[in-house]
Amino acid sequence: MSKIARSNKKVIHMVKRSGISPLKAWGIRLIAAVLGLIVAAFVIVGITGVNPLKVYEGIIGGAVGSPRRIWVTVRETVVLLLIAVGLMPAFKMRFWNLGAEGQILAGGIACSALMIYGKSIPAPLLLFLIIVCSALGGMIWGFLPGLFKAIFNTNESLFTLMLNYVAMQLVTFFIVFWENPSGSNSVGIINPSGKEGWFPALFGSDYGLNILIVLIVTVVMTLYMKITKHGYEIAVVGESQNTARYAGINVGKVIIRTMLVSSAVCGLAGAVIVSGASHTISTSTAGGRGFTAIVVAWMANLNPAGMLLVAAFLVFMQQGSIQIASQYGLNENASDIITGILIFFLIGCEFFIRYHLKVVNTEDDKS
């Protein structure tokens, strides 16, 4: 035996906590948030030389500094929440739907088409058609990967991801027809004068209907997952396809059905964005929100209440970044850096909630 003299060394070990009080857990999260802000402050000073407190102030001002800004923050939050809620059933089924971007665009195309060609339809009926057709548009984009997964067991991550690019090209294709003014290579604001197909103001706000739709869909989807037979089947399939087979569940059918539901909600998000906010369509209509929503859904562990919090946090930082970009001449990415640092600390601290580190001094083991 050669090298046994391994004494006099400290060994660090992770030890699983046997349980932690909620107070202590939230304390750890709070410490993590504070540490994150401090580290971010050093980064800001180091890179830009701007007083970090001023930057933080700017972020808060940008997100909730005026009633209009608050409304924009709320509008963006609910859209992100809606997409995350749409992804929830697919993720619960362990179906990696990375295609929310494409599903949003597909819904957005259906919505724009109705706004452009359906001006003569009575407003309430048009609104109804927009909601139904955008959901249907999303469903087409979700049906294909679901079908192939169910029949051929194709990889859904790649399939849904690639369909995003198809949807983007489709938008480019339609822009050629819908160009306004011609030569601008963009659709421009659709129906700026008559506002046909625009979401009407509700509760004294332009975005009242957006909030109402998202609220209804979130509640319905939460109940769908919790108390329906479909929701139960989704949970069983997600946990174990073998168990699902043993229970006599038709796994393929559940996969297709769930993808239809998931993508319908994402398609509806397309209508909420186009009819409810931007009133135009471009390849950046989804703007990466289909991916951000994945973060929202998983950081909240697929819990809708948590998703609302995470969505609000991310949008808050995003809106704040626009403000600090103009106020301090910083790049908009400055806020992404701050967001990144904060998320790093917040996710990282979960480790310390589950484990604690223990230093074992092996010096005691005398040779």
Strands 355-361 and 10-16: antiparallel
CA distance 349 to 165: 36
Binding of another protein by 184 (CB under 8 A): no
Binding of another protein by 120 (CB under 8 A): no
Binding of another protein by 16 (CB under 8 A): yes
- Smallest distance from the beta carbon of 220 to another protein, in angstroms? 12
For the record, the structure tokens of 60 come out as 């808060």
- Smallest distance from the beta carbon of 303 to another protein, in angstroms? 14
CA distance 300 to 201: 31
- Given the complex with another protein, which of 92 and 289 has the nearer CB atom? 92
Whose CA is closest to 281, among 162, 116, 163?
116
- Given the complex with another protein, which of 111 and 302 has the nearer CB atom? 302
Amino acid at 201: A
Residue 74 and residue 211 in contact, taking contact as beta carbons nearer than 8 Å: yes
Binding of another protein by 356 (CB under 8 A): no
Contacts 24+ apart (CB under 8 A), 185-190: 186/280, 186/282, 187/112, 187/280, 187/281, 187/282, 188/280, 189/279, 189/280, 190/112, 190/115, 190/116, 190/279, 190/280, 190/281
Q: What is the largest CA-CA distance in the chain?
A: 92
For 273-318, the three-class secondary structure string (H helix, E strand, C coil) is HHHHHHCCCCCCCCCCHHHHHHHHHHHCCCCHHHHHHHHHHHHHHH
**Binding segment for another protein among 13-21, 74-82, 273-281, 333-341 (CB under 8 A)?**
13-21
**Number of residues forming the site for another protein (CB under 8 A):** 37
Binding of another protein by 359 (CB under 8 A): no
Whose CA is closest to 303, among 222, 183, 201?
222
Binding of another protein by 365 (CB under 8 A): yes
Torsion of CA 64, 70, 76, 79, to 10 degrees: 130
Binding of another protein by 10 (CB under 8 A): no
Binding of another protein by 220 (CB under 8 A): no
Binding of another protein by 230 (CB under 8 A): yes
Binding of another protein by 94 (CB under 8 A): no
255-274 footprint of another protein as x/- string (CB under 8 A): --------------------
Binding of another protein by 232 (CB under 8 A): yes
**Binding segment for another protein among 47-55, 111-119, 121-129, 238-246 (CB under 8 A)?**
238-246
CA distance 196 to 188: 14
**Binding segment for another protein among 71-79, 223-231, 303-311, 331-339 (CB under 8 A)?**
223-231
CA distance 316 to 61: 10
Binding of another protein by 154 (CB under 8 A): no
- Smallest distance from the beta carbon of 360 to another protein, in angstroms? 7
Binding of another protein by 247 (CB under 8 A): yes
- Smallest distance from the beta carbon of 286 to another protein, in angstroms? 32
In this structure, what DSSP letter does residue 79 have?
Answer: H
Cα distance from N-terminal residue to C-terminal residue, the chain: 14
Binding of another protein by 19 (CB under 8 A): yes
- Given the complex with another protein, which of 258 and 335 has the nearer CB atom? 258
- Given the complex with another protein, which of 20 and 343 has the nearer CB atom? 20
Distances, alpha carbon 243 to alpha carbons 88, 96, 227, 258, in Å: 21, 20, 20, 18
Binding of another protein by 367 (CB under 8 A): yes
Among 53, 125, 227, 357, the residue binding another protein under the rule CB under 8 A is 227
Residue 270 and residue 132 in contact, taking contact as beta carbons nearer than 8 Å: no
- Smallest distance from the beta carbon of 84 to another protein, in angstroms? 21
- Given the complex with another protein, which of 68 and 229 has the nearer CB atom? 229
Binding of another protein by 248 (CB under 8 A): yes
Which residues of this protein are in contact with another protein, per CB under 8 A?
1-4, 6-7, 9, 11, 13, 15-19, 227-233, 235-236, 239-240, 242-243, 245-248, 358, 360, 362, 365-367
